[in-house]
Structure 1
Amino acid sequence: MNAEPVLATIAKALGDTRLDAVLVGNAAAALQGAPVTTLDFDFMFRDTLLNQKKIKKLAESLGMSCSQPFHPASSLYRLVEPESGLQLDFMSRMDGVKSFESLKSRAAEVRFAGARLRVADLADIIRSKRALGRPKDLAVLDILEKTQNEKEKAAQE
C-alpha cells in the first residue's frame, strides 16, 4: 500500500482542524528510511480540552469513529475508519519522551500534497521504543538504530 495519499489526507485534516500533533512510531520511522511496517499511525499531542475537541472534529472530518479514551485508565484516543480499518492513535504521553514540546522541537516537517505533517526524530522513536520494552518494540530496535547510524554517516559526507 502506498501510504502517501493517506498521509496527505491526514496531514490536510490535521491542518484544517489545527490540531498540533507529531507522527511517531513505525510510520514516522519508515518515513525516515527505516525498513519497518505498521498497521496504524500513531501521534503525540498536547492533552488539553481544546485538543480533545479537535481530535473529535478530526475524526468527523475523516469519517472515522473515535474511542475516547480508548482504555479507561489512559489518555489514548483511537480513530478508526470502519470500511478500511485505518487506525489513528493519539496519545499525550510516550515512554522515553519528556514532553510534547520537547518531541515537537526535534520533529521534522514533511509535506504531502501541500499539507504539512510533523514527524518525530528517529532518536526519539528509538528512545521511546527502548523505554516501552515491549517485545514488538524491542524487535525493531536494531533496524531503527542501523537506520539512525546510516543517516548520521550520510549527514557527515
Structure 2
Amino acid sequence: MSESEVDFVIVGVGGINFYARTPAEAFSTLDLDALLAPSVTNLARALRVLAELGYTFAAGGEPFVDLDDETVLRRVIENGATIAAIHSVSGEIDLLTSITAFDYASLSTDAAEFQVAGSFVQVGQLEKLLRSKEASGRPKDLEFLRAFRASRSED
C-alpha cells in the first residue's frame, strides 16, 4: 500500500513490534492494523490496491463488497469502522478509520519510518501506541500492556 499512494500509519501490536529490540521481544498478533487517513479517496485506494493483490473484505463479520460506493465508504469513515482485508496466504490487515486517543494526523506527523521488503512504512510512535492501548480499556489491551511492561522490566 505504501507504494500505491495510500496514506496510513501502522498501529496496534504490529506497530509496537517494530520497536522490538530483538525478535524474541515481538508479540504474536493475528493481524496488522493500518490506520488510514480519513478520506473516501484514500479508503477506496487502499481497498482497490488490496483487492488487486487478492484480498477479500469483511466489516462487522459480514462480507464487504461496496469497494467503490462513495456513500458507503463515507459512512465507514464517519462511523470510525474497521474493514478487515483477508488473504489466505498473507493474512489479515485491519483497515482502521479510527483508534482510541489519537487521530491519523496526530500519529502521522511524528511517525517513525521503517523499511519492510524494500518499501518504507510509517509506524506510530511507541509511546502513542502504548497510550492508545491503555486508553482503550479493553481487557485484551490491558493484558498486553502488562506482558509488554514485564518483558521490558526483565532487562
Using structure 2 for the length normalisation, give the TM-score: 0.76
Provide the rounded CA distance (Å) in 2 between the counterparts of 1:102 and 1:147: 28
1:131 to 125, 132, 135: 135
* Pairs aligned (count): 134
Deviation at residue 146 of structure 1 after TM alignment: 5.8
Given the alignment of the two structures, is residue 59 of structure 1 paired with residue 50 of structure 2, yes or no?
yes
Distance 1:64 1:119, change over 3 A: same
* Residue number in structure 2 paired with 1:28: 15
1:43 to 34, 50, 62: 34
Contact 1:110 / 1:117 at 8 angstroms: preserved in 2?
yes
For residues 85-117 of structure 1, the C-alpha deviation after alignment (integer angstroms, 9 at most, x for no partner) is: 7110011211121x2111012211011232111
Given the alignment of the two structures, is residue 15 of structure 1 paired with residue 2 of structure 2, yes or no?
yes
Contact 2:38 / 2:104 at 8 angstroms: preserved in 1?
no
2:92 to 87, 90, 95: 87
Given the alignment of the two structures, is residue 100 of structure 1 paired with residue 104 of structure 2, yes or no?
yes
Using structure 1 for the length normalisation, give the TM-score: 0.75
Deviation at residue 35 of structure 1 after TM alignment: 3.3
Contact 2:80 / 2:98 at 8 angstroms: preserved in 1?
no
Provide the rounded CA distance (Å) in 1 between the counterparts of 2:56 and 2:28: 24
Distance 1:87 1:32, change over 3 A: same
Q: Return the structure number with greater helix share.
A: 1
Percent identical among aligned pairs is 25
Distance 1:146 1:103, change over 3 A: farther
Contact 1:40 / 1:88 at 8 angstroms: preserved in 2?
yes
Structure 2 unmatched runs, 5+: 61-75
Provide the rounded CA distance (Å) in 1 between the counterparts of 2:150 and 2:125: 14
Residue type of the partner of 1:64? Y
For residues 4-26 of structure 1, the C-alpha deviation after alignment (integer angstroms, 9 at most, x for no partner) is: xxxxxxxxxx1332101011111
